[in-house]
């Protein structure tokens, strides 16, 4: 098959990590008989420098015609003093809205090789794990384009008098809830078969609506074990017994907070991939935007220090969710695992404890080359 992939390297370490992920995809194409056509586009600070805008119309237009988008990161000190609307990060919102991606998928996994990077104790990691292993493999599905971040907001009064007030509104329509639940259930079917719907249904009407619709949806996915949890409890359970979770699905604001909490448990930001998925044409949800969760890391840009694995793993997510190439996605994940098994570590994931004798600290280039070698040997 032929696939067109929009590549947006962006700023800082973005170009370094994107070029490595593209190299991995090229090899996957050769090995499995696919052609990935890359179309490189500008967004972020570099686009401001060349066109005056963070997201040129031509970038969005071309990205919309591609089968999926892989983005590095945008932003940096050079553009920090620009007004909000002209800042590089605006490009991300414009791309999400323009591509209609409404479900954000963030895996939070503890790879056994990086166990020492997790701040939780072994007994906590074992608690709740179905096999009693010390670890977790969670996928948080967050609604991305609705709820309180997009609801009606405003202020009354001068802001100085005691009765001055401010408000934001959490409003969800049925179709917004149904479509993100479908993504989450489909993901659970491809993973551990468990889904936990997180809300605040004991207090919020919008959460009660979510739960009603989740119960209807659960009845259609009888092979998935559905549970329901209040968000305050979930925040606690994530650090008490993360092994109990498989897929968590929740609203925009709850997902924002919980996914950041979960990301800390995985060790380094340099390992964490993400996918934002929508619906395009008549397909199920091929429109997708894939990116590492880290930023442009200007402090290490151009120094061969960036961990390329989050972007490489984002490319694997692209193969899985936009192209349904499960075998190919797993081949990338296996290659990453083997590379870590061999003891190679970029600085951000280096074990600083005494047990780290078998590790070798490498740079971006050597890490990516090792993943490519492991993939060749698969
Ligand atoms: P950051 O994620 O860029 O960096 C935070 C820390 O993590 C830094 O010490 C950095 O060196 C380290 N780090 C990040 N990615 C790494 C990797 N792959 N390998 C090794 N170390 C890594 O966050 P920040 O410093 O707050 O932001 C820098 C710029 O990036 C800002 O302009 C910010 O607005 C932007 N940003 C962009 C995105 C995005 O494009 N999606 C996300 C977050 C921040």
| CATH number for the domain that contains residue 33 | 3.40.718.10
Query: Which tokens hold the place of 258?
Result: 């919980």
**CA–CA dist 351, 365 (Å, integer):** 20
> Are the beta carbons of 111 and 99 closer than 8 angstroms?
no
Residue of 77, 297, 365 with the most ligand 1 atoms within 8 Å of its CB, for mutation: 297
3-class secondary-structure state, position 182: helix
Q: Is residue 174 part of a domain?
A: yes
| Residue 169 and residue 226 in one domain | yes
What count of other Cβ atoms lies within 10 Å of the Cβ of residue 91?
A: 28
Residue nearest to atom 44 of ligand 1 (CA): 295
Question: Which of 258, 215, 253 has its CA nearest to residue 238?
Answer: 258
pLDDT at position 282, please?
Answer: 43
DSSP 127: T
Domain of 88, in residue numbers: 1-107+274-378
The domain total for the chain is 2
Domain boundary among 246, 265, 284: 265
In a domain, 48, yes or no: yes
Given 247, 265, 283, the domain boundary residue is 265
| Domain-located, residue 252 | yes
Assigned domain for 114 exists: no
Domain presence at residue 113: no
Nearest ligand 1 atom to the CA of 294 is 2
Among residues 251, 165, 140, the alpha carbon closest in space to that of 206 is found at 251
Residues designated as active site: 149, 200, 232, 256, 260
Instruction: Please tell me whether residues 49 and 67 are part of one structural domain.
Output: yes
Asked, for residue 212, whether it belongs to a domain, the answer is: yes
With respect to residue 152, please indicate whether it lies within any of the assigned structural domains. yes
Q: Is residue 189 part of a domain?
A: yes
pLDDT 10s digit of each residue in the chain, 378 long? 899 999 999 999 999 999 999 999 999 999 999 999 999 999 999 999 999 999 999 999 999 999 999 999 999 999 999 988 899 999 998 998 889 899 999 999 998 888 888 889 988 988 888 888 888 999 999 999 899 988 999 999 999 999 999 999 999 999 999 999 999 999 999 899 999 999 999 999 999 999 999 999 999 999 999 999 999 999 999 999 999 999 999 999 999 999 989 988 988 889 999 999 987 544 445 579 999 999 999 999 999 999 999 999 999 999 998 999 999 999 999 999 999 999 999 999 887 766 667 889 999 999 999 999 999 998
**pLDDT value of position 354:** 60
Residues with CB under 6 A from ligand 1: 13, 73-76, 89, 92, 269-270, 291, 294-300, 306-307, 310, 348
Sign of CA dihedral 56, 70, 136, 365: negative
């Amino acid at each position: 098959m032929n696939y067109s992939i929009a590549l947006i390297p962006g700023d800082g370490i973005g170009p370094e990590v994107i070029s490595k992920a593209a190299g991995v995809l090229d090899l996957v194409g050769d090995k499995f008989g696919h052609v990935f056509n890359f179309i490189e586009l500008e967004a972020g600070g570099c686009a401001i420098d060349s066109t005056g805008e963070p997201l040129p119309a031509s970038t969005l237009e071309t990205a919309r015609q591609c089968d999926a988008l892989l983005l590095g990161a945008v932003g940096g000190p050079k553009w920090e003093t620009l007004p909000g609307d002209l800042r590089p990060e605006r490009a991300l919102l414009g791309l999400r809205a323009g591509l209609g991606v409404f479900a954000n998928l963030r895996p939070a996994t503890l790879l056994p090789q990086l166990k020492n990077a997790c701040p939780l104790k072994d007994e906590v990691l074992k608690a709740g794990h179905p096999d009693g292993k010390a670890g977790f493999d969670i996928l948080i599905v967050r609604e991305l384009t609705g709820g309180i971040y997009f609801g009606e907001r405003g202020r009354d009064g001068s802001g100085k008098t005691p009765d001055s007030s401010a408000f934001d509104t959490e409003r969800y329509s049925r179709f917004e809830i149904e479509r993100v639940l479908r993504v989450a259930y489909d993901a659970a079917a491809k993973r551990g078969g468990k889904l936990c719907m997180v809300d605040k249904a004991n207090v919020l009407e919008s959460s009660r609506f979510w739960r009603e619709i989740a119960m209807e949806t659960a009845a259609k996915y009888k092979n998935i074990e559905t549970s329901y949890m209040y968000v305050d409890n979930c925040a606690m359970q994530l650090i008490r017994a993360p092994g109990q979770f498989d897929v968590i699905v929740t609203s925009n604001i709850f997902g924002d907070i919980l996914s950041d909490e979960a990301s800390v448990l995985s060790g380094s930001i340099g390992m964490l991939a993400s996918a934002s998925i929508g619906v395009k044409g008549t397909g199920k949800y091929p429109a997708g935007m894939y990116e590492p969760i880290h930023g442009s890391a200007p402090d290490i840009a151009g120094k061969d220090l960036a961990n390329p694995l989050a972007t490489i793993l984002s490319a694997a997510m692209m193969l899985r969710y936009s192209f349904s190439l499960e075998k190919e996605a797993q081949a990338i994940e296996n290659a990453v695992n083997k590379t870590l098994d061999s003891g190679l570590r970029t600085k951000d994931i280096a074990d600083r404890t005494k047990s780290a004798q078998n590790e070798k600290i490498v740079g971006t280039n050597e890490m990516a080359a090792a993943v490519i070698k492991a993939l060749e040997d698969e």
